[in-house]
Amino acid sequence: MEHPLHQFRYCPKCGSQRFVEHNAKSKECLDCGFVYYFNPSAATVAFILNERNELLVTRRAKEPACGTLDLPGGFCDMFETGEEGVCREVKEETGLEVTSTRFLFSLPNTYLYSGFLVHTVDMFFLCQVSDSDICHAMDDAAELFWIPLQDLRPDDFGLDSIRLGITKFLANFLI
């Protein structure tokens, strides 16, 4: 796989074509001296359980992995914490109001967006919601449904980090 820095051909500060590899993590402009470090984007994932010990699952409405299972979540906005981001994403995709969050773990990931491979750090949260019975699919979610934890099969989920996250959640965070 080609390194993501190769997708950047022009200096984002001055527009120079003399934008060359500086080291494994950065490029440098030979004209203005700007050094660009390619860092991952922050993304969130929500584990939402109801009183029947079922997990809220979505079906992806968009690529990548359109039509496969997923969990609510998405990219953090600028000036937003991970907790604020997961609350906003849950609201946008399900209509649910998150009342509390608990950070569980993070995983590195890649996400193909419009032909551009975005490196992410996916932050997984256990979220409590005010009324789990009042939700509906919106935004990036084509469908919402509840799956009993014992029926979860990570291979049914279309994104690598979600599959790994569900496996880790089932193995380490259930009492």
Say what the pTM is.
0.90
**Residues 95 and 131 grouped into a single domain:** yes
71: which 2 tokens? 């969990």
Which of the following is catalytic: 21, 63, 97, 143?
143
DSSP 8-state secondary structure symbol assigned to residue 49: B
Grade residue 2 by pLDDT with cuts at 50, 70 and 90: low
Residue 17's domain comprises: 4-37
Average pLDDT over the chain, rounded to an integer? 92
Are 46 and 66 part of one and the same domain? yes
Statement: residue 175 has pLDDT above 60:
no
- Considering its fold, how many domains does the chain have in total? 2
Whether 143 is catalytic is yes
Cα separation, 93 vs 74, in Å, equals 10
What pLDDT score was predicted for residue 134? 84
